[in-house]
Amino acid sequence: MSRVYNFSAGPAALPFEVLQQIQDDIPDWQGTGMTVMECSHRSKEFVELAARSERNLRTLLSIPDDYSVLFPQGGATLQMAMTPLNLAAADETADYVVTGSWGKKALGEAGKFCNANGIADSSDRNFTYIPDQASWTRSDKAAYLHYVPNETIAGVEFHFVPDSEVPLVADMSSTILSRPIDVSKFGAIYAGAQKNIGPAGITLVIVRKDLLDRVRPNNPHLMTWKSYADSDSMTNTPPTFAWYVADLVFQWLLKQGGVEAMARVNERKASKLYAAIDNSSFYSNPVAKDCRSWMNVPFILADNALDAAFLDESRAAGLTNLKGHRSVGGMRASIYNAVNEEAVDALIGFMADFEQRHG
């Protein structure tokens, strides 16, 4: 067996210990004589899994009791529609901060369902900075304020929580569980699973309970947060296998020392990779230093004629999925929780070696 160092932006690497546990569990999960995929979601074993995963997530993120934890399907993209449908009436306004492609997409989706107002936009410099909060043109009476704490494509991360007098909604798909967060500052948080939680197919929503009643009348059942809250996310058949893997990842995170420990490792991984980039004239990262992402590190080569060679040679060295998003070009290393320090060291070593041979 040979495993590569996988820097995919998503679906992304999973912890090796979790993969081994899955392999052990496949033929006979918890003495049921079945794989978890074949078990009823109403079985005692699965109901216990669901309860344990929520309990462990609440511990990991210190989620207060007045918040519900939901596990719908549809990914972060469906939440871009569900957010206005659950929090705003059609004639109400919602404020959107656009610091990257996902924020822009969320604004566009919300515009179909309410008066979505872009209050800040950093596209003038190709999404490489966060506009000063003082310049945000907030509405007088917004139903909520939406932002994307980590923009996965350009690698721009808020290292602070914005001020807001209205409920703050955050798409945390690519930063959730990478560090502690103060959940009480948010009205709702959502995240697709396939970056830092588990396989694609399950989505996480954390929402303050008093907001659940804002939902529009006649909203589709499966697009209503309250339906999930009222049924422990068993409003219909949940994505059981993806949920099972997420449960294993939460247990793995607790074993690593929780999100505080992950944050220390993640900060170290990111700072050594940015240092390697900054200390060379061969590689560069265009993002303002105060908002560089801990999770997604784009970098370009001074001579883009070498891009293909970089990708070929890195793949041959066991480092995969380093091609940057087409809107940014160059390379991108996604270094989520499951990408350990050894993988980052291997990448830094390869980069130095490549520079020496081609620089």
Ligand X SMILES: *Cc1c(COP(=O)(O)O)cnc(C)c1O
Q: Which residues bind ligand X (CB under 6 A)?
A: 10, 75-77, 102, 148, 152, 171, 173-174, 192, 195
Terminal Cα-to-Cα distance of the chain (whole angstroms)? 34
Identity of the residue, 157 or 355, whose beta carbon is nearer to ligand X in the bound complex? 157
In whole angstroms, how close is the CB of 150 to ligand X at the nearest point?
Answer: 6
* Contact predicate 127/100, CB 8 Å: yes
Judge whether 185 counts as a catalytic residue.
Answer: no
Task: Indicate the residue among 174 and 285 with the shorter CB distance to ligand X.
Answer: 174
Question: Nearest distance from residue 74's CB to ligand X, in Å?
Answer: 7
Sheet holding 331-334, edge to edge: 283-284, 296-301, 331-334
Which listed residue (104, 171, 226, 247) is catalytic? 171
Q: Which is nearer to ligand X, 195 or 214 (CB)?
A: 195
Cβ closest to ligand X, residue 186 vs residue 354: 186
CB of 79 to ligand X, least distance (A): 8
Choosing from 29, 102, 243, 294, the catalytic residue is 102
Structure tokens at 15: 């912890």
Closest separation between CB of residue 190 and ligand X, Å?
9
Cβ distance to ligand X smaller for residue 39 or 295: 295
Smallest separation, CB 45 to ligand X (Å): 27
Q: Please indicate whether residue 195 is annotated as part of the active site.
A: yes
Nearest-approach distance from CB 157 to ligand X, in angstroms: 10
Catalytic residue among 104, 195, 269, 323: 195
Q: Burial level of 124, CB count in 10 A (0-12/13-18/19+)? A: exposed
Q: How far apart are CA 294 and CA 267, in angstroms?
A: 6
* 171 assigned to active site: yes
List residues with catalytic annotation: 102, 171, 195
